[in-house]
Amino acid sequence: MFDNAFQILFLGEDHAWAAVSQALVEAPKVALKIHRAHSLNELFLVLAGGLWDAVVLDVHAWNFQGLHYVDKVRAEYPAFPVIALYSSEVAELDLKAKRIGASRCLPLESFSAEALHSCVFSCLSDKKSNGHLRKASQMQLTFNIPDSSAVTSNKTQIISHALNNLLCVITANADILDEHINHSGPGVHSLTEIKKAAKSAADLMRLLK
């Protein structure tokens, strides 16, 4: 099972990242490649590429802001595997993470590459993970689906995910520009209009689901 190669995105603070990195060093035969994102905006930008199997979020990060990130990722990717990394010293933190959308939770104290690999494998084997864009597109190319209604449904789902990805890229880039733009300059109005359009599109997508 550990031969299955998984591409993982990680978002969290240095303490959790050190534990994840050390676990990979200690288990070189476990087929995991983990990329660290340094902000939620970066995570969404990279995730939009569609080359990832799961996201690992340090829910303690930035004064438990990571817990909020679980909810944000789940809102944009309803069926994507989201693994919450937590400390068992905080009572019921794993239950809170699951309530807001974590697919699985892993305690930091006993974290290992094998545990993460098994966790991702389990998520991807779950029927609820069939909505992942990468997997859905592969299924459409590989299998013949005789039911025309199923084909239409699959196409609609893929288009929906693609539009969600596009909105994530637009919103994330707008937030990045907002951090660097001169708010007294001529670009402020354009940036505001981009944000309004993205929000309207996101609201429409939610209504259509």
One digit per residue, the tens of pLDDT, for the chain of length 209 reads: 556 789 999 999 999 999 999 999 999 899 999 999 999 999 998 988 778 999 999 999 999 999 999 999 999 999 899 999 999 888 899 999 999 999 999 999 999 999 999 999 999 887 444 444 443 333 333 334 444 454 455 556 666 666 766 776 677 677 666 766 666 666 777 777 787 887 777 767 666 65
Query: In this predicted structure, what is the pLDDT of residue 133?
Result: 41
List beta partners, residue 55.
9, 82
CA 67 – CA 27 distance, rounded (Å): 28
Q: What are the helix (H) ranges across the chain?
A: 14-26, 40-47, 61-76, 93-99, 113-125, 133-142, 148-180, 187-208
CA 110 – CA 38 distance, rounded (Å): 24
Amino acid at 125: S
Q: Are 17 and 36 in contact (CB under 8 A)?
A: yes
The pair phi, psi for residue 101, each rounded to 5°, is 130, 0
Contacts of 109 (CB under 8 A, 6+ apart): 87, 88
CA 27 – CA 81 distance, rounded (Å): 22
Query: In this predicted structure, what is the pLDDT of residue 132?
Result: 40
Cα 183 vs. chain centroid, distance in angstroms? 31
Query: In this predicted structure, what is the pLDDT of residue 51?
Result: 83
pTM for this prediction:
0.61
Query: In this predicted structure, what is the pLDDT of residue 190?
Result: 77
Per CATH, the homologous superfamily of domain 6-129 is: Response regulator (3.40.50.2300)
Contacts 24+ apart (CB under 8 A), 35-42: 35/7, 35/8, 35/9, 35/10, 36/10, 36/11, 37/9, 37/10, 37/11, 38/11, 39/11, 40/11, 40/69, 40/72, 41/172, 41/175, 41/176, 42/172
Query: In this predicted structure, what is the pLDDT of residue 48?
Result: 86
Q: Where are the domains of the chain?
A: 6-129, 144-208
